[in-house]
Amino acid sequence: MEESPTVSDGTARTEGHDEPRSHETRDAASDGAAFARTRTALTALGRALRYDLSIASRLAAKKLRAAGSGALLRIRDIDLQAAKTRAAEAAARSAAVWSRVKLWHFRSTDKRAVGEKQFRWRALGLLSAATAGACLVFIVILFAWALSDVPWEEIAEGSLKPVVLLETVDGKPLVRQGPIQGPFAAREEFPRHLIDAVLTSEDRRFYDHSGIDLKGILRASFRNVRAGEVVQGGSTITQQLIKILYLEQDRTWKRKIQEAVIAFWLERKLGKDEILTRYLNNIYLGAGATGVPAASRIYFDKEVRDLTLGESAMLAGIIRAPSQLNPIRNPEGARRQASLVLDAMVKRGKSTADQAKVATAKFAELHPAKPAARSGGWFSDWVMQEARELAGPYRGTIKIRTTMVPRLQVIAEKVVAEALKQEGAAAGASQAALIAMTPEGAVVAMVGGSDYAKSPFNRATTAMRQPGSAFKLFVYYAALKAGLTPGDWIEDAPIELNGWSPENYGGGYRGRVTIAEAFARSLNAATAALAMEIGIDQVIAAARELGIDAKLAQTPSLALGSSEVNLLDLTGAYASIRTGIAPVEPWGVVSFHADGQRAFRVGPPKQPTADIRQYQPDMVALLRLVVERGTGREADLGALSAGKTGTSQNHRDAWFVGFTEPLVVGVWVGNDDEAPMNEVTGGRLPARIWRNFMRAAAAEPADSARDSATNVTVDGSSADGAEAAATCNFRACASAYRSFRLADCTFQPYRGPRRFCEK
């Protein structure tokens, strides 16, 4: 027994299994006894239940027999007839109840259907209202955005765009080169056949629609779809006017909304006749012509009231494509289009067949041609700057009477062109400029180059060039103011000033000479010495006093014209010497007259402030000496002739500026690239140009140029006794009074009514 723990694992496991088997035997025996006892108990329980069931069943059977007997007794006692009656009544009551139940159910179902239907309609109504409200809000926001930048005030004023018309001193039109717009014509000035032609071509239902022609749009859309391309437009004349005057030309929904709203509003604001009048005055008709008045002048050289039926049809026909159909560029296309307009007018009863036939036959005689370019292009460009300033507050047609004398302008252009043609190549000069003015500064002629069509750059007013010895005027004027006289002596000898040594033209020095001789011979060394003696600052002061506004370098070489100036200002300075008052500011506007307003004279921008008459005789004598015995002998006319030559370094610029009794004239010759000329000096080509112009101008009656520029009346006549326009110095008045009003040249004082400005 004690060794069993030491045996192998297999032996131990075997022994381990033997012991449980003995226990299982004992458990099985005990389980058998338990089952036996359970069977005994269940048997006893079954017997007890059978006994109890038997007793219960006997009692139940007894009770059932008693109940059955009672039921049979009650059945025997039932009255069958009464039972049937009661059954029928019960059935009737049941049917009635069921009927009421069904009726209630039906009504309940119907009410629910009706309610559901009403709910659906109510919901649909609310949804529609919400959608409509949202759309309305969207439309309001869209229109507010689209119309936010519409110039309502400008449209509400019913004002026309300003059209500035320049006139020469005698009241004739001064036609500018390039795009032009004629004066606004009134409704009654347009011939009836012109209006019929335009309406037939552009808007046949103009007097029937309210700004937008829906029928016209549908008709045009149908025709365009049939043709497969755009062959007809649907815009009314009202819509076209809006595009021309008020809206941008881009094709956007914003512009479409603006166009539609403004069209309806404009019809009620202005009316049909006013809309049509504005349209005819502003429509573009090709060749640079805006408006029928300008087109009638360019194509037929006549007033709009004088247009014939055929001419009217031609103008109406080119509205749709003015650049392609204008009679100058495409005469055959213009005639074909005019024939179509005439045929349409006959169909509408706006012209008879005979009238149309006659007009068509006359087309062969129509040879529209743009009028030849008129002189004065540079002058027009120069004066237009001031003209637009004057026209600023006005609308409609503004007539600006200028100082230009047509005859003198033609002479100036001819003289300059001939000089360059004959001598330009040999002289190495490609350009020239000329300014002619009265002693009071009224510019009567202006040439800014060799050919305006090729180069509109104005060398007379814009180009800044070195004046050379022409600037010596200011040195000798300063010397006279310093107390020197033309007979005083100065030294013409070599001089060095800060490393700069001026030399005389041709070399050599004359030693001791008078101021008069130094000026007449244009001696550089003597002039530089004189300038240093009186002071360069005094020379600059003298130039400023006589009207030079350009930047002037305070160096010794300034005395010989090293600082740049323009021809206009330099000529104005010589005019100051001629009149004896300074500064004389060149000017070009005599008067302006806006529609419905009073006419006003304008005159020079600045009135002279310095009286220099005490120096005038000596200065005129010095300038006459230049022409008589000095460097300007080529300019001698045999009568009063005074002036000064000028030549810049290396002959890049050559000048002659001088005057006679009625006129002050300046001439410049050179090249745009500042290339040196072939030994050209101011005493040669420029002096000859000056002389030729003065001689041609002298053929005009004495003082006519001066008088016409300074004594012009409101209507442009020079007749004595004519009522002159009131003078309004609008620049001085605007600077002096904040309340200044250009419309009537008045200002508001602190007390009392408005007063006329007399500055």
Please indicate, yes or no, if residue 272 is contained in any of the structural domains.
Answer: yes
Residue 16, pLDDT score = 39
CB 674 within 8 A of CB 661: no
What whole-number distance in Å separates Cα of residue 304 and Cα of residue 292? 7
Q: pLDDT tens digits for 320-373? A: 888 888 888 888 888 899 999 999 999 999 999 999 999 888 876 766 665 555
Please indicate, yes or no, if residue 269 is contained in any of the structural domains.
Answer: yes
Q: pLDDT tens digits for 382-408? A: 998 888 877 766 667 788 999 999 999
Span 487-504, average pLDDT:
93
Decide which of 579 and 214 is more confident: 579
Residue 597, pLDDT score = 73
pLDDT at 268 over 90: no
CB 328 within 8 A of CB 299: yes
Q: pLDDT tens digits for 613-664? A: 999 999 999 999 999 999 999 999 988 899 999 999 999 999 999 999 999 9
pLDDT at 215 over 50: yes
Percent of the chain whose pLDDT exceeds 90: 44
CATH number, domain of 266, equals 1.10.3810.10
Residue 420, pLDDT score = 97
pTM: predicted TM-score of the whole model, two decimal places: 0.69
Q: pLDDT tens digits for 674-695? A: 999 999 999 999 999 999 999 9
Long-range pairs of 735-738 with CB within 8 A, sequence gap ≥ 24: none
Q: How many structural domains does the chain have?
A: 1
Residue 368, pLDDT score = 67
Please indicate, yes or no, if residue 206 is contained in any of the structural domains.
Answer: yes
Task: Please list the alpha-helical segments (H only) found in 471-558.
Answer: 472-481, 515-520, 524-534, 536-545
Please indicate, yes or no, if residue 600 is contained in any of the structural domains.
Answer: no
Please report, as a single letter, which amino acid is at residue 442. Answer: A
Give the 3-state secondary structure of residue 727: strand
- Range(s) of the domain holding residue 282: 189-362
Q: pLDDT tens digits for 562-617? A: 999 999 999 999 999 999 999 999 999 998 887 767 778 888 888 899 999 999 99
Please indicate, yes or no, if residue 353 is contained in any of the structural domains.
Answer: yes
pLDDT band at 77 (very low <50, low <70, confident <90, very high): low
CA angle at 262 for the pair 258 and 268, rounded to the nearest 5°: 165
Residue 256, pLDDT score = 73
pLDDT band at 440 (very low <50, low <70, confident <90, very high): very high
Please indicate, yes or no, if residue 487 is contained in any of the structural domains.
Answer: no
Q: pLDDT tens digits for 273-289? A: 999 998 999 898 888 88
Please indicate, yes or no, if residue 241 is contained in any of the structural domains.
Answer: yes
Span 199-217, average pLDDT:
85
Residue 723, pLDDT score = 42
Please indicate, yes or no, if residue 407 is contained in any of the structural domains.
Answer: no
Residue 589, pLDDT score = 92
* Mean per-residue pLDDT over the chain, rounded: 82
pLDDT band at 300 (very low <50, low <70, confident <90, very high): confident
466: Cβ contacts below 8 Å, ≥ 6 apart: 561, 562, 563, 564, 648, 649, 652, 653
Residue 722, pLDDT score = 34
